[in-house]
């Protein structure tokens, strides 16, 4: 953030003589980080409440359930016109705020997509013919029935035999490597790790190892309990599990949602009855189970706020308060989809949120409140920025979605002689053809069907035949995909040949009569899918922006750039953001499209620095430059910027070491922090 004030700079470089001969500079020791304490934000907490619409925050019926988020609004900047990616799947939605780029650049359109160049996983037969489904969800877990995924809640839970393979080496392609399929894509964790900062992240699958970008060690503390694992609620008093569905339905009939905070979430490995317990079920099928699942990650964040590891792991050494950390919440999304959840339209035009949705929002909001309290308790509030957003919304926000057989369009295209190699469909269709040269023919077939066809639609089991023209919105292929910044299927190996968008309220499913418990879904292009909440708050924000609302259109990709700016890091190191020319979020006192690091602000104010290259020493006010004799008598107030691993013995008078970083972006901070070598007189 560009909140480095000239008055603060003058206070630092024109300080008064002290009675004490030597004192250590006020540097925050966070894994040898190179950010001085004057940097406004020392920590950034990223929170995704999956499914949370901007309309939810603005809904008077839901505002009593959002007291902590609204408090963050009042202390921060709200963006009333924020959009996530198209498609609005969780994978590209998360990558948008981690990379600063959308799927047309990252090449990641869904957590289940297709690659024309990779080879099939060995577990699926392998082979040497390019072209395979590239699924990065619970399917790649060693054991997706367990919360730990069969490993240690992290990348160790990934089964390499389930991964697509590199066509040259035959080796498995891990999620972070898949992100590099079309072009090199870095993440905010990449950039922070290269700068020597400690990082942490938690999400819903071990497959979110994709967040590490180009460096599989970019996240120091990765915690990814499996959301699609099997779980049950254990009553500590009886030592037995209860059936979550029966509990919820029984209490809903009585007019309330039960509080399950006293229950323990168990999986087949911890259930007293073992894997045969009939009460075990997929955590995404019941909001009560999902709330207890979210609690695992909330506790991980609170641990990290206290400088502890998210969970017991031999790979987490020297845990510290992360510079960047975050998690996603699942309960709201599950409650929006649940048959008794969502929001009901009333005959007078008003709406009525379900008890299930209200309970999920209350629980999530209270969890965020716990994190805020922990930041205050640990004294970190004033050095922390919090971003609250959503990977995706949910369609329809109000009412019940109509379910349609997802075989409809693939069967249509197959019958027309343009077979489909792969399709992923929710409230959108991403279609990969067996023969790309047939794209124009297939597009015309779909257009004719839109104009003349009809589709069977089921509303909680009731059949309605609807004209296809009322369901299908756009059919994008070829130049229209490129124009929409959705990639080029002719050159990019993961770009769909055709994307079919739907009007709000229609959902593709495997068997419509078996999915009567689903009322909403995400993945599509509609406003309900993409118009998400976005709030930037925290004690590190300047007072003069707190309580502001920005109505200008923004995207979640801008979060990534803003996070790095807040920490004084260079957003240009985000390759995807650089390609898309992603700018910082407006309204935060940051120059659009420019780094707002303290270094940038100070240099803009005080002119060129004394550059110190690789190898020389700064000692007692002496600055050296590569290939030249030491420059003595440095008594002006220009900042010294170290661009290499120089030795620092201290600086006298008004000279100040502002930043230590190699030109490559790799941190060179050992000399600053090792054994008190850096001292200020």
pLDDT in tens, 100-125: 999 999 999 999 999 999 999 999 99
pLDDT in tens, 327-345: 999 999 999 999 999 999 9
pLDDT at 649 over 70: no
pLDDT at 375 over 50: yes
The arithmetic mean of pLDDT across residues 14-31, rounded, is: 30
pLDDT at 13 over 50: no
pLDDT at 667 over 60: no
pLDDT in tens, 522-547: 999 999 999 999 999 999 999 899 99
Q: Phi then psi for 132, rounded to 5 degrees?
A: -155, 150
3-state secondary structure 169-201: CCCECCHHHHCCCCCCCCCHHHHHHHCCCCEEE
pLDDT at 6 over 50: no
pLDDT at 214 over 80: yes
Q: Phi then psi for 372, rounded to 5 degrees?
A: -60, -45
pLDDT in tens, 160-180: 999 999 999 999 999 999 999
The mean predicted confidence, pLDDT, of the chain is: 84
- The answer to pTM > 0.85 is no
pLDDT at 516: 77
pLDDT at 182: 83
Q: What percent of the chain has pLDDT over 90?
A: 79
Positive or negative, the Cα torsion across 560, 562, 568, 569? Answer: positive
The arithmetic mean of pLDDT across residues 619-630, rounded, is: 32
**Two tokens, residue 646:** 């120089």
pLDDT in tens, 565-581: 999 999 999 999 999 99
pLDDT in tens, 248-277: 999 999 999 999 999 999 999 999 999 999
Domain ranges within the chain, ordered by starting residue = 1-39+598-681, 402-511
Q: Phi then psi for 182, rounded to 5 degrees?
A: -95, -35
**Two tokens, residue 653:** 């008078």
Residues in the chain: 681
pLDDT at 600 over 80: no
Judge contact between 210 and 91, C-beta under 8 A.
yes
CB contact set of 96 (below 8 Å; sequence gap of 6+): 84, 85, 102, 391, 555, 556, 557, 559, 560
Judge contact between 652 and 620, C-beta under 8 A.
yes
The arithmetic mean of pLDDT across residues 632-650, rounded, is: 35
The string of DSSP codes covering 23-82 is B---B--SSS---BTTSS-SEEEEEEETT-BHHHHH-TTTGGG-HHHHHHHHTSEEETTE
C-alpha separations of 45 from 57, 199, 520 in Å: 20, 10, 29
Res. 590 pLDDT band, cuts 50 70 90: low
Please tell me which residue, 559 or 662, carries the higher pLDDT value. 559
């Amino acid at each position: 953030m560009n909140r480095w004030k000239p008055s603060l700079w003058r206070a630092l470089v024109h300080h008064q003589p002290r009675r004490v001969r030597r004192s250590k500079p006020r540097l925050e020791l966070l894994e040898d980080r190179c950010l001085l304490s004057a940097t406004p934000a020392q920590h950034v907490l990223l929170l995704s409440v999956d499914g949370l619409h901007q309309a939810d925050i603005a809904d008077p019926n839901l505002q009593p359930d959002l007291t902590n988020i609204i408090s963050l609004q009042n202390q921060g900047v709200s963006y009333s016109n924020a959009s996530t990616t198209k498609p609005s799947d969780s994978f590209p939605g998360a990558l948008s705020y981690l990379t600063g780029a959308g799927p047309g650049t990252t090449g990641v359109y869904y957590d289940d997509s297709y690659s024309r160049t990779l080879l099939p996983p060995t577990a699926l037969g392998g082979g040497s013919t390019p072209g395979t489904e590239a699924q990065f969800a619970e399917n790649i877990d060693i054991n997706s029935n367990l919360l730990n995924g069969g490993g240690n809640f992290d990348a160790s839970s990934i089964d390499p035999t389930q991964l697509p393979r590199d066509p040259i080496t035959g080796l498995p392609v891990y999620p972070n490597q898949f992100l590099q399929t079309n072009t090199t894509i870095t993440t905010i964790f990449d950039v922070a790790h290269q700068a020597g900062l400690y990082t942490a992240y938690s999400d819903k699958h071990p497959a979110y190892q994709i967040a590490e970008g180009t460096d599989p060690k970019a996240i120091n503390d990765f915690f990814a309990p499996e959301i699609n694992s099997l779980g049950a609620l254990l009553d500590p008093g009886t030592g037995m599990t209860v059936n979550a569905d029966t509990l919820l339905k029984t209490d809903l009939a009585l007019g309330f949602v039960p509080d399950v905070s006293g229950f323990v979430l168990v999986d087949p490995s911890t259930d007293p009855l073992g894997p045969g317990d009939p009460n075990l079920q997929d955590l995404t099928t019941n909001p009560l189970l999902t709330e207890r699942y979210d609690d695992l990650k909330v506790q991980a964040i609170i641990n990290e706020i206290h400088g502890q590891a998210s969970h017991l792991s031999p790979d987490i050494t020297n845990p510290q308060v992360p510079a960047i950390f975050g998690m996603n919440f699942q309960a709201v999304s599950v409650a929006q989809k649940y048959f008794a959840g969502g929001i009901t339209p009333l005959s007078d035009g008003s709406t009525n949120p379900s008890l299930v949705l209200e309970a999920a929002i209350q629980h999530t909001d209270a969890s965020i409140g716990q994190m805020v309290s922990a930041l205050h308790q640990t004294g970190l509030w004033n050095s922390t920025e919090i971003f609250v957003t959503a990977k995706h919304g949910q369609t329809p926000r109000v009412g019940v979605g109509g379910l349609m057989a997802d075989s409809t369009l693939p069967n249509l295209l197959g019958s027309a002689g343009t077979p489909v190699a792969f399709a992923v469909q929710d409230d959108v269709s991403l279609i990969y053809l067996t023969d790309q040269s047939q794209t124009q023919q297939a597009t015309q077939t779909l257009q004719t069907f839109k104009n003349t066809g009809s589709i069977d639609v089921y509303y909680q089991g009731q059949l309605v035949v609807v004209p296809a023209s009322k369901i299908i919105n756009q059919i994008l292929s070829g130049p229209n995909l490129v124009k929409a910044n959705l990639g080029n299927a002719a050159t990019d190996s993961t770009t769909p040949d055709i994307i079919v968008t739907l009007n709000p309220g229609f959902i593709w499913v495997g068997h419509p009569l078996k999915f009567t418990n689903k009322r909403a879904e995400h993945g599509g292009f509609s406003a309900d899918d993409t118009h998400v909440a976005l709030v930037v708050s925290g004690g590190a924000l300047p007072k003069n922006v707190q309580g502001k609302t920005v109505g200008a259109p923004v995207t979640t990709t801008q979060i990534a750039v803003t996070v790095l700016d807040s920490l004084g890091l260079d957003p240009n190191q985000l390759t995807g953001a650089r390609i898309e020319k992603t700018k910082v979020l407006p309204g935060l006192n940051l120059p659009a499209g420019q780094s707002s690091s303290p270094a940038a602000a100070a240099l803009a104010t005080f002119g060129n620095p004394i550059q110190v290259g690789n190898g020389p020493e700064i000692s007692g006010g002496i600055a050296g430059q590569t290939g030249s004799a030491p420059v003595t008598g440095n008594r002006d107030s220009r900042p010294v910027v170290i661009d290499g691993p120089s030795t620092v013995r201290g600086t006298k008078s008004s000279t100040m070491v502002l930043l230590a970083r190699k030109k490559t972006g790799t941190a060179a901070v050992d000399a600053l922090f090792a054994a008190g070598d850096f001292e200020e007189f």
